[in-house]
Amino acid sequence: MPQYDQWKTFIGVGVGSLFGVIMYRVLPKVFSWMDERYLFAGSTWLMVPVWLLTIDYVSASAVPPVGCFYAASVLCGIYVVVFSVSAETFLSKKITMAGPLYQSKAGYFIGVCFSVMSAGRFAGPLIIGAVTKLGTTSGSINCNNLFAVPPLISQSEACCITANTYYTDGCVLYRNQIYYPIMLGWSFVTAALTAWSLYLDGAY
């Protein structure tokens, strides 16, 4: 995928975000019992199918189908919107109900919550970059072959990323068969703990 096609990698997230906004507005009106607590708990489970769709089940050098990537991107977009808004709303209501002592520090608690979420968004790409590796099926980056005169490979075979050029059709993400299942397990545990916590202390 050359640089001018990179927008395609984000279109799924954009569509998912739009659906997330619609779901957050419509679902509570259709189902009177579905408030932000259910949306909060339900959204955490969305990351489980995301990892299931992106895990490479064939081999370490295979690339999952493009449709799976876009489906996972849409789910990610829905998750980000619904989780963020419902978590903030739930936290605000719980603080309001906790009494004057906590109400006076509402900004502090919400700030800590979003600081932790921001730290996760920083740590995620950092860990992925440290654990996984991008390369061709032979494990190399072949920019020299692509930019040779005449080129020794086609753009569809290239895995080359520079400051202003991206050719990723020939790229394979190595070690994803280790990292992605770990993240799948972590997402499952996180979703289960969130649901259990809301069950124990989620009442207004």
Mean pLDDT score, 171-179: 83
Residue 78 is predicted with a pLDDT of 95
What is the pLDDT of the chain when averaged over all its residues?
84
Q: Write the Ramachandran bin of 165: left for phi over 0, alpha for psi from -120 to 50, otherwise beta.
A: beta
Query: Which pLDDT tens digit goes with each residue over 9-25?
Result: 789 899 999 999 999 99
pLDDT band for position 43 (cuts 50, 70, 90): very high
pLDDT band for position 2 (cuts 50, 70, 90): low
CA distance 145 to 163: 17
Query: Which pLDDT tens digit goes with each residue over 85-129?
Result: 998 888 888 887 776 767 677 778 788 888 888 888 888 888 888
